[in-house]
Amino acid sequence: MPKEPELSFLQQMMAFASLAGLGGVVNYLTTIKTGKKFKWSSFWIEFFCSAFVGVIFGLFFVATDMPIIMSLAGAGVAGHLGTRSLMMLKDKYGLKDYEIEDEQD
């Protein structure tokens, strides 16, 4: 079995964001194949949202002592799923939505 790569924290975060962002791009391109019109703004929104989700999941995987290769793969998959993966994590651990109440003057 190949030796586990040694990455600094910053390198890990960049790798999580990059792989997840690419997963988001793949997800966006599959929606383009269905006939939607390509928009650069939607492309970048999908990329950055997916990168954010990938970093969150990457940190989660590292915290559970998952090997870095598995963590990177998981971050890419989470990026492809986008914010849907955050909802899955929320539901798995029974987290509630935080509601902000309007202040009455």
Domain parsing of the chain, residue ranges: 21-82
- pLDDT per residue as tens digits for the range 73-93: 999 998 988 877 777 777 888
Q: How far is CA 80 from CA 26, 67, 103, in A?
A: 7, 20, 38
* C-alpha–C-alpha distance, residues 92 and 64, integer Å: 15
Mean pLDDT of 63-75: 92
- pLDDT per residue as tens digits for the range 7-23: 888 999 999 999 999 99
Query: Up-side HSE of residue 13: CA atoms within 13 Å toward CB?
Result: 5
